[in-house]
Amino acid sequence: MLYSARGSAEMVDWVTAAKRGGVDPENPKPGSPRTYKVSAWIEIGDELAEVSGIWASGLSDPIRKALLKELGLPVKKQLVYRFGNDCVANVADFRIQAVWDGWCLLELLLSDGTRPSLPIHSMYLAEMNKAQTYYVFDLETTGTNPQTAEICEIAAIKVSNDKVVDEFETLVYIDGQMPLGAERVNHISKDMLADATHMRHAMHNFLTFIGDDAVLVGHNIKSFDLPLIERVAALCGLKFTYRQSIDTLDVSKKAWPGRKSYSMESLRPTLDIGAEGAHRALKDCKDELEVYLKARAVIASGKVRPIAEAEEQPRPRRASFTSKWSRKKAKEFVANVKEFDEENPLFEKCVVFSGEVEGHDYESCMQIVCDLGGTPQDNVTRKTNFLVRGEGCGEGKTRKAEELKSKGFSVQIIGQEEFCRMVGWE
């Protein structure tokens, strides 16, 4: 969702829009209600459409669908409003009355003609359609590319009324070798899979467990797990359908804005979730459920706020020494392995870091690039393939990468979350 000061068509961040637009009343007493003079917009390709104050039925079909997706609502299914555990009413129409950072004051037109107003977070509106039963699932794989990776473990938990009522877990036989990088992360060796269930049977059992109309929950599932299952199920001649997917990565970003990282590795210490046994599918399912429940509780309470990073400590104001002075040069790093995962996106790629990758020191980042068959670099050059921007990154390397990119060089600027996904540090 984009923002502008009310009456303006200039898109700015919410803080700027609120500053330019001001509030009603102009000088509210502390704790008293106030309305920011900010308008919300939806962007489709080159088209911008204001959605504040307009009934959804009055929007063009593409804009209406985009708004539903932005709010986390089903596009094709009937939207319902829950008064309690058993009392629901169909939503005939809705419109945004007011907006503030990540939140909307929504006016609903219910089927009985009533018009309740609901202050909600954009992810919380989806809770009006919250299923009583859903499935949290996780995959362990041989790589980070959903178009080429093999599945070596599948797990899922059935959750009813937010309580685990059933579990599914299976190791899966793989045709190829287990890449060393993947084995270091999931601790699953090729020997462990010698007698494991073959993929078609394992996938059939998994799909039978979740059914064909499930609400699926998981971390980073929209960009990785779901595309991978869709590809593998099709190869197995099986039909994979589901009602709705909820990505706890997206939910976490809404619940705790401003974090440097939303990987499970980062969220576990912050939310006091034990890391023992992590990167095994069933353990990850239970951890992701805990993240989902905690994030949902924060969103429902209306107290969405940044949460402190567990690793953050106050830094001394006086600093006469920087660890950068003693850092090893990129050329000093050599691979600790003899075989590489050639399907990894960093294989035979040159990588530069700007800033710190949360939870991992500089040498660990440089070393993992080497161990995946890549080449770490100190500075951006014409050979650079990836610039990883982390905490405290400067702008010099970014400007250089953007300049080279504009000249046709194949350099990509990625965040630390994407890098952690590539190397299996999620």
Q: Which of 261, 256, 268 is nearest to 296 (CA)?
A: 256
pTM of this prediction? 0.51
Read off the tokens for 329.
């040069």
How large is the greatest C-alpha to C-alpha distance in the chain, in angstroms? Answer: 71
**Model pLDDT, residue 306:** 52
**Model pLDDT, residue 130:** 53
Exposure class string for 127-142: b at 16+ Cβ within 10 A, else e: ebbeeeebbbbbbbbb
Which residue type is seen at 424? Answer: G
Q: Does residue 36 sit in helix, strand or coil? A: strand
Q: Does residue 250 sit in helix, strand or coil? A: helix
The answer to whether 241 and 164 have CB atoms below 8 angstroms apart is no
Q: Which of 224, 317, 216, 253 is nearest to 102 (CA)?
A: 253
**Model pLDDT, residue 205:** 96
Q: Which of 223, 218, 234, 279 is nearest to 426 (CA)?
A: 279
Question: Structural domains in the chain?
Answer: 2-129 (no CATH), 133-301 (3.30.420.10), 331-423 (3.40.50.10190)
pLDDT in tens, the chain (426 residues): 788 988 888 888 877 888 898 888 777 666 566 678 888 898 887 788 899 899 999 998 889 888 887 776 667 777 777 665 456 778 899 898 888 766 677 888 988 888 887 766 544 444 444 557 899 999 999 998 999 999 999 999 999 988 999 999 999 999 988 998 888 888 899 999 999 999 999 999 999 999 998 989 999 999 899 999 999 999 999 999 998 888 999 888 878 877 888 888 888 888 888 777 666 889 999 999 999 998 887 776 655 555 544 333 333 333 333 344 346 788 888 888 878 888 899 999 999 998 888 878 888 899 999 989 999 998 899 999 999 998 877 788 888 899 898 888 989 999 998 999 899 886
Mention every residue, 6+ apart, whose C-beta is less than 8 A from residue 241. 212, 213
DSSP string, 260-322: S--SHHHHHHHTT---TTTTSHHHHHHHHHHHHHHHHHHHHHT-------TT--PPPS--S--
**Model pLDDT, residue 240:** 95
Q: What distance in Å separates the CA atoms of residue 304 and residue 323, rounded to the nearest whole number?
A: 35
**Model pLDDT, residue 230:** 95
Mention every residue, 6+ apart, whose C-beta is less than 8 A from residue 46. none
**Model pLDDT, residue 318:** 35
**Model pLDDT, residue 9:** 85
**Model pLDDT, residue 1:** 75
Q: What distance in Å separates the CA atoms of residue 412 and residue 73, rounded to the nearest whole number?
A: 32
Q: Which of 373, 376, 345 is nearest to 362 (CA)?
A: 376
Q: Are strands 103-110 and 80-82 parallel, antiparallel or unpaired?
A: unpaired
**Model pLDDT, residue 305:** 53
